[in-house]
Structure 1
Amino acid sequence: MTTFWCETAILAKGGHSNPEAASGVRVETHDGRITNVTADVRHQPGETRLDGVVFPAAANAHSHAFHRVLRGRTHEGRGDFWVWREQMYTSATELTPEKYEKLATAVFAEMVVAGFSSVAEFHYVHHQPGGAPYAEAHAMELALARAAMAAGIRLTLLDTLYLAGGIGAPLSREQARFGDADVRAWLRRLAGLRAAVEQNFPEDRVRIGAALHSVRAVPEEDLKVVAAQLPSDIPLHIHLSEQPAENQACLEAYGTTPTGLLARHGLLSGRLSAVHSTHLTQEDIASLGQSGATVVMCPTTEADLADGIGPARELSDAGATIALGTDQHAVIDPWVEMRALEHGERLGSGQRGRFTPQELLQAATVGAARSMATPVAAIAVGSVCDLVAIDPTSTRTAGSRPLQLAFSATASDVTGVIVGGELLASRGVHTRLGSPGALLAEALEELS
């Protein structure tokens, strides 16, 4: 048994939607889960002391680990998402299983020290450049799983179906390594990957989900096959309506929006996570809400790529669950993502308080974790012991009320991160791997 003593902790006494701050909290754990929580007690010898304010750790519901290569390298001149995409493709061509494992280990370590305990990796770099499979089955996927294990982060690997370069267009030369022969070949590969992961990695640390890259990359006839044959016990994610051009192409080809196309084939459900959902009609919003889908917002990426401001408040009010992700990793910081979501709402509406601090915390924890079918972190008996401690006396946070730290804290204020009852990060240093900055610098030296 491991015991942590928290100076202040955010407890789920009133449920996930109504957390409370308590002082002097003892958290007892066994096999990575919380077995007892006691408030208003003194620190005892032998207990790991967590000073500051301790929250459930965040979950990152949307990641492309290799996009971290692009941080600080795509800002000369003007352009839009489509210009940025060409630079992203260039980075993808350089990846090998060895290079990707090294890079992803560093990226996942950066996530851990920022306060993330789990991540959904939206993965589509499956094969060699040109599209030939690697000699080792699932070489790229297993490299990502090993990277997550090394960093100690829980991984949901979303194996992605990517068959077309656009509606009615073949894959380009740069996209060839993303594709499979057809949808049934992808389903067979997905089944093989699930078996390999289940055989080689702990279920509570690495699990498999599925993703459709977008309606641009998956033709309608293949959506029908996915709807009929995808196993029902894994999560399904998709990039949805990130760009107006995607919507227009879908309308011209299929006579409906991307959301409408998914609804047409029964793919809107509580297991679906729609990433971005930036440019939606009112009908789209109602459909996503009524289906109980999760919408994964990535506010810092959507700002970096000039995507626009998605209708997060309207989606939440309609019944959708809001989750947060870091996507292309312009920033890896759950606290910045939380307030960027609210700031976008304020800029778009001219109103403050569109999301309460409690709602933002829920999006970064419960909403994100449920979207990837990973254990939900909470400071409550039975929950996984995934915790993050925040310094409430830094230059940024001094004077903040505990439940309002989402509006002042950054990853720089994280003093400790626990995953599965293990202290994995302390003041910006990964306890197993050292400085993520050094790891990233070394990994990036091998990539242009």
Structure 2
Amino acid sequence: MTTTERTRTYWLEHAWLGTHVEPGVAVDVGADGRIAAVRTDVPAPPPGAEILRGLTLPGLANAHSHAFHRALRGTVQVGSGTFWTWREVMYSVADRLTPETYLDLARAVYAEMALAGITTVGEFHYVHHAPGGTAYADPNAMGEALIQAAADAGVRITLLDACYLSSGFGQPPDTHQLRFSDGTADAWAQRCSVLEERDHARIGAAVHSVRAVPADQLATVARWAEERRAPLHVHLSEQTAENDACHAAHGCTPTRLLADHGVLGPRTTGVHNTHLTDEDIALLGGSRTGTCMCPTTERDLADGIGPAAALQQAGSPLSLGSDSHAVVDLLEEARAMELNERLRTRTRGHWTAAALLRAASADGHAALGWDDAGTIEPGARADLATVALDSVRTAGPLPRLGAETAVFAATAADVRHTVVGGRHVVRDGAHTLVPDVPRALARAVAALRA
């Protein structure tokens, strides 16, 4: 196959093909943005091919994002505190968001993700209405801004529209949370049903947390997702205080409460899953409920280290997210999951580099409803991320150890190319759609401080 107006070829100097690194790989991409063929033993670029020097991975999936939290970077790191004190600062930023400012910020944040090799983002979205809870003329104006931002930045998105109804067990939403709430799960479902999927966007659901959705309304959210065969995500056991409050209100753990109301299952992903009992782990693994670990946020907020290895052994697939965007770097999230487990157990080697890359790519995409992405093989979406092997961090190791180099040495700064659906979104470290991403970020964040 030669490159034409309807097809193109990428030549990968080195490619991680799921189990090993292969030198000299040609990837032919059809007009539909999918991989038509993968040809190995191609020592030189074919005529007309686009050349990706370095190690090319499948595009990465950021399975848990709150785009507006990017405006907190550098601010919430001042002083001390807990998740709960951090949350007050977060609310102050959420109060200033409008559809217009959120579009500008999210576009820049998603462009930052593309620069980090991320080709799909799962946006856990709960800022739905105007301050005070008044609906915009378009009740989904904020969600539509996020979908448009992803298109502008050249990445795919799963909008995980979150049901958020209460400030705690039996407590109404506080002043800040009024703009998060639709009043009831039925009203939430009615609003979500208007959202439409697009080529680059899928619509999923989220239970913000067991403290934010009353137990008698959990099934409504689960049923909405089940009827649409959509992904369903939930913040789960992120803090011990939430577990204690759940025990006081319901006499059980949050995981048991979700299980009893039909929330767990193979299309559900628990985010964080930090403070779990042995029974919780068995419930999550036995139901094939996924686990999204967000190590850079979990350590930034001093939340703790979740039992990722035990969860995976029990049957819970692992994915990764950058959550509050203390940094945007899926390679760091993968590395941190392994290194956290080493600190917790004082033993090494809980996951291979290949397993960590799968969590950051194929399994992350599956958690977001994109089962046909995250691999370099015929029929998959042509999403690629190329890591330089000649930077100060990556120079030296043999190319056949590229997977280990990517996971344990490289950073997002080493990503040189990002291809989404066959389109070159990042070329030689520069975004092709959003000029000057740092300046776009600075302006968008400054607008929320005005």
TM-score by length of 1: 0.95
Structure-2 residue corresponding to 1:11: 17
Distance 1:367 1:380 in 2: 15
1:355: Cα distance to partner? 1.1
Alpha-carbon displacement from aligned partner over 1:247-289 (angstroms, at most 9, x marks no partner): 0000110010000001111221101100000000010001100
Distance 1:228 1:403, change over 3 A: closer
Contact 2:353/2:407 (<8 A) preserved: yes
CA contact (8 A) 1:113 1:426 kept: no
Aligned counterparts of 1:137 and 1:229: Cα–Cα separation in 2: 18
CA contact 1:127–1:133 (8 Å) conserved in 2: yes
Is contact 1:339-1:406 (8 Å) kept?
yes
SS in 2 for 1:175: helix
- Does 1:342 find its partner at 2:334? no
Per-residue CA distance 1:90-128 (angstroms, 9 max, x = gap): 000000000000000000000001000000000000000
In the alignment, which residue of structure 1 is the partner of 2:3? none
- The corresponding residue for 1:15 is none
SS class of match (2:52): strand
Q: Aligned AA for 2:270?
A: A
Give the Å deviation of 1:143: 0.8
Query: CA distance change for structure 1 residues 227 and 310 in 2, over 3 Å: closer, same or farther?
Result: same
2:330 equivalent to 1:324: no
How far apart, CA to CA, are the structure 2 residues paired with 1:44 and 1:267? 50
Looking at structure 2, the residues matched to 23 and 224 of structure 1 have their Cα atoms a distance apart, in angstroms, of 50
Displacement after TM superposition at 1:43 (Å): 1.1
Match of 1:275? 271
What SS is found at the alignment partner of 1:445?
A: helix
Q: Which moved more, 1:379-388 or 1:397-406?
A: 397-406
| 1:311 equivalent in structure 2 | 307
Question: Is 2:386–2:417's contact at 8 Å kept on the other side of the alignment?
Answer: yes
* Distance (Å, rounded) in 1 between the aligned partners of 2:17 and 2:84: 44
The sequence identity of aligned pairs, in percent, is 49
**Separation (CA, whole Å) in 2 of partners of 1:367 and 1:33:** 18
Native 8 Å contact 1:50 1:389 kept in 2? yes
Deviations 1:213-258 (A, max 9, x none): 0000001111133344542411100000000000000011001000
Residue in structure 1 matched with residue 129 of structure 2 by the alignment? 127
Instruction: Write the letter of the residue equivalent to 2:343.
Output: L
User: Is the alpha carbon distance of 1:420 and 1:227 closer, same or farther for their aligned partners in structure 2, counting shifts above 3 Å?
Assistant: closer
Within 1, Cα distance between the matches of 2:132 and 2:418? 41
- Alpha-carbon deviation of 1:45? 2.4
Q: How does 1:125-274 map to 2 (within 5 A)?
A: 125-193=127-195, 197-198=196-197, 201-202=198-199, 205-230=200-225, 231-274=227-270
For structure 2, which runs of at least 5 residues remain unmatched after alignment? 1-6
Aligned mate of 1:385, from 342, 362, 382 = 382
Q: What CA distance in whole angstroms lies between the structure 2 residues aligned with 1:229 and 1:314?
A: 30
Corresponding residue SS for 2:242: helix
Deviation of the 1:377 alpha carbon: 2.0
Cα pair 1:114 1:428 within 8 Å, conserved: no
Give the Å deviation of 1:426: 2.3
| Contact 2:219-2:263 within 8 A present in 1 as well | no
Unaligned runs of 5+ in 1: 13-18
- What is the letter of the counterpart of residue 240 of structure 1? L
Equivalent residue of 2:53, what SS? strand
Hey, what does 2:366 align to over in structure 1?
Answer: 370
SS of the equivalent of 1:211 reads: strand
- The match for 1:16 is none
- Distance, in Å, in 2 between the alignment partners of 1:123 and 1:228 is 19
SS at match of 2:193: helix
Q: Which residue identity lines up with residue 71 of structure 1 in the other structure?
A: R
Structure 2 equivalent of residue 358 of structure 1:
354
For the residues of structure 2 that align with 1:108 and 1:139, how far apart are their CA atoms?
18
Cα shift readout 1:281-309 (whole Å, capped 9, x = no counterpart): 01000110010111000000001000000
Query: Could you tell me how far apart the structure 2 residues matched to 1:263 and 1:324 are?
Result: 23
Q: CA–CA distance in 2 between the matches of 1:111 and 1:256?
A: 38
User: What amino acid sits opposite 1:441 in the alignment?
Assistant: A
- CA contact 1:294–1:323 (8 Å) conserved in 2: yes
Q: Deviations over 1:377-430 (max 9, x none)?
A: 211111111001111121101123212021111011111110000111124321
Q: Is the CA contact 2:206–2:221 (under 8 Å) kept in the aligned structure 1?
A: no
- One-letter code aligned to 2:421: G
8 A Cα contact 1:338 1:361, kept in partner: yes
1: CA distance between counterparts of 2:221 and 2:169? 17
Alignment check: 8 A CA contact 2:431 2:437 kept: yes
8 Å CA contact 1:36, 1:381 repeated in 2: yes
Of residues 394, 419, 434, the one that matches 1:397 is 394
Aligned partner of 1:21 in structure 2 is 21
Between the aligned partners of 1:351 and 1:139, the Cα distance in structure 2 is 48
Task: Count residues with an aligned counterpart.
Answer: 435
Match of 2:47 in 1: 45
Q: Distance in 2 between matches of 1:54 and 1:84?
A: 37
Measured after TM superposition, the shift of residue 78 of structure 1 is 1.4
Distance 1:112 1:227 in 2: 31
Determine if contact 2:163/2:221 at 8 Å carries over to the other structure: no
- Output the CA distance in 2 between the equivalents of 1:377 and 1:421: 13
> Could you tell me which residue of structure 1 aligns to residue 444 of structure 2?
443
- What SS does the aligned partner of 1:192 have? coil
Name the residue aligned to 1:101. 103
Partner-residue secondary structure (3-state), 2:327: coil
Matches within 5 A, 1:289-308: 289-308=285-304
Q: So what's the TM-score if we normalise by structure 2?
A: 0.95
Q: Does the 8 Å contact 1:60/1:364 carry over to 2?
A: yes
How far residue 44 of structure 1 moved from its aligned partner, in angstroms, is 2.2
Structure 2 CA distance for partners of 1:224 and 1:38, relative to 1, 3 Å: closer
Off by >4 Å, runs of 4+ in structure 1: none
